[in-house]
């Protein structure tokens, strides 16, 4: 059982998310054309491609923002479809966009529970915010990510870019995300902070989660991904194991020819 994870009991290496023949058009624009890809438990798959290649369209189709025009999405072998991002979240697909969607003036705990605040009864009947539960969640989640912040009770506006990423990732993990889709998580960060985010992604991987990592930064992709899927004008231009490819080859796949 050592290769089993508590995350929905999907053993590391088994298929978690499959996208089959997915297409999406916006009127005459074919943003995504017959795309097939898979993410296994404990695997980081990078999505690369030039501007307009279809990366955002793909993650929005996987996360319930867009309805695919055709094709299938399977989670652990079961066909799924979503009418909203909330429905995708409910079954464990969480997207972290570059803006992180954090409330700056609130603590880590309050951000974890943003919009789904836990309540307790004071004096036996009066519903009040359960701050103890929020603080405990902040502590245990950051510990699970092996991420240390000096003040758990500080507003997240005090935090660095990497720490803020950790809070957004922590929120997804707390709500049991099995697939985390991360849109350019290192783009706005300095080098030490980029390293922290890469470490966090390694943690998610070790926990048996699947990660889709969108990036323009090949160095980060090569530091963290197991595989890379390259898109070009909405089609899959190639897929490689990171250990079996080079920056040059990836760039060639991106630009074509
Ligand atoms: N809502 C939309 N309506 C019409 N066309 C769209 C829409 N969203 C995307 N497109 C088009 O679909 C294609 C793919 O765009 P997409 O945003 O998925 O690419 P991308 O790889 O994420 O690019 P970038 O790296 O610039 O974010 C582009 O030609 C884009 O103009």
Q: Where are the domains of the chain?
A: 1-92+178-186+207-257, 101-175
Annotate 168-193 with b (16+ C-beta within 10 A) or e (fewer).
Answer: bbbbbbbeebbbbbbbbbbeebeeeb
Q: Residue 6's pLDDT is what?
A: 44
Contact 204, 23 (CB under 8 A): no
Q: In this predicted structure, what is the pLDDT of residue 66?
A: 96
Residue 41 has pLDDT above 60, yes or no: yes
What is the pLDDT at residue 8?
Answer: 58
Tokens of 166: 């950790």
Pocket probe for ligand 1: among 29, 46, 95, 212, the residue whose CB has the most ligand atoms within 8 Å is 29
Cα(34)–Cα(235) distance, rounded to whole angstroms? 7
pLDDT above 50 for 2? no
The residue-averaged pLDDT of 117-123 equals 85
What mean pLDDT comes out for the span 191-196? 86
Q: Where residue 169 falls among pLDDT bands split at 50, 70, 90?
A: very high
Residue closest via CA to ligand 1's atom 11 equals 31
Q: Looking at ligand 1, which atom is closest to the CA of residue 54?
A: 18
Mean pLDDT, the chain, integer: 90
From the CA of 41, how far away is ligand 1's center (Å)?
A: 28
The number of the ligand 1 atom at minimal distance from the alpha carbon of 216 is: 25
Residue 57 corresponds to which tokens in the numbers above?
Answer: 């369209």
Q: Which atom of ligand 1 is nearest to the CA of 60?
A: 18
- 154 Cα–ligand 1 center, Å: 38
Question: Which residue CA neighbors atom 5 of ligand 1 most closely?
Answer: 26
What pLDDT, on the 0 to 100 scale, is given for residue 149?
80
* Residue of the CA atom closest to atom 4 of ligand 1: 26
Distance (Å) from CA 52 to ligand 1 centroid: 5
Q: Using one digit for the tens of pLDDT, what is the confidence trace for 136-148?
A: 998 988 888 887 8
Give me the architecture of the 1-92+178-186+207-257 domain, per CATH. Answer: 3-Layer(aba) Sandwich (3.40)
Nearest to 169 by CA among 116, 94, 109, 226: 94
Task: Report the complex ipTM.
Answer: 0.96
Residue 172 confidence (pLDDT) above 60: yes
Ligand 1 pocket, CB under 6 A = 26, 29, 31, 49, 51-57
Q: How high is the pLDDT of residue 1?
A: 33
Q: What is the mean pLDDT of residues 105-130?
A: 87
With 60 as the cut, is the pLDDT of residue 5 above it? no
Q: What atom of ligand 1 comes closest to residue 56's alpha carbon?
A: 22
Of residues 171 and 188, the one with the higher pLDDT is 171
* Residue 3: predicted pLDDT: 40
Say how many Å lie between the CA of residue 163 and the centre of ligand 1.
29
* Cα 254 to ligand 1 centroid, rounded to whole Å: 16
Confidence of residue 9 (pLDDT cuts 50, 70, 90): low
Residue 253 to residue 240: CA distance in whole angstroms: 10
Looking at ligand 1, which residue's alpha carbon is closest to its atom 3?
26
Nearest-atom number in ligand 1 for the CA of 234 is 14
- More confident of the two residues 12 and 230: 230
pLDDT at 85 over 70: yes
Protein residue closest via CA to atom 29 of ligand 1: 52
Which ligand 1 atom is the nearest neighbour of the CA of 231? Answer: 21
């Amino acid at each position: 059982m050592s290769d089993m994870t508590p995350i929905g009991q999907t053993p590391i290496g088994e298929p978690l998310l499959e996208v089959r023949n997915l297409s999406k058009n916006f009127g005459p624009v074919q943003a995504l054309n017959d795309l097939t890809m898979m993410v296994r438990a404990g695997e980081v798959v990078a999505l690369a491609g030039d501007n307009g290649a279809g990366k955002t369209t793909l993650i929005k189709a996987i996360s319930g923002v867009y309805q695919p025009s055709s094709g299938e999405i399977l989670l652990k072998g079961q066909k799924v479809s979503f009418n909203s991002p909330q429905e995708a979240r409910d079954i464990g697909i969480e997207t972290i966009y570059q803006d992180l969607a954090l409330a700056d003036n609130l603590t880590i705990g309050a951000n974890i529970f943003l919009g789904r605040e836990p309540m307790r009864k004071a004096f036996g009947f009066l519903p009040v915010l359960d701050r103890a539960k929020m603080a405990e969640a902040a502590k245990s989640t950051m510990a699970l990510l092996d991420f240390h912040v000096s003040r758990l009770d500080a507003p997240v506006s005090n935090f660095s870019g990497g720490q803020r990423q950790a809070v957004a990732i922590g929120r997804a993990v707390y709500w049991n995300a099995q697939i985390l889709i991360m849109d350019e998580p290192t783009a706005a960060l300095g080098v030490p902070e980029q390293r922290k985010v890469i470490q966090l992604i390694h943690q998610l991987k070790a926990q048996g989660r699947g990660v889709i990592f969108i990036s323009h930064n090949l160095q980060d992709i090569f530091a963290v991904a197991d595989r890379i899927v390259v898109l070009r004008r909405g089609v899959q231009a190639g897929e490689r194991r990171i250990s079996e490819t080079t920056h040059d080859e990836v760039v060639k796949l991106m630009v074509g020819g």
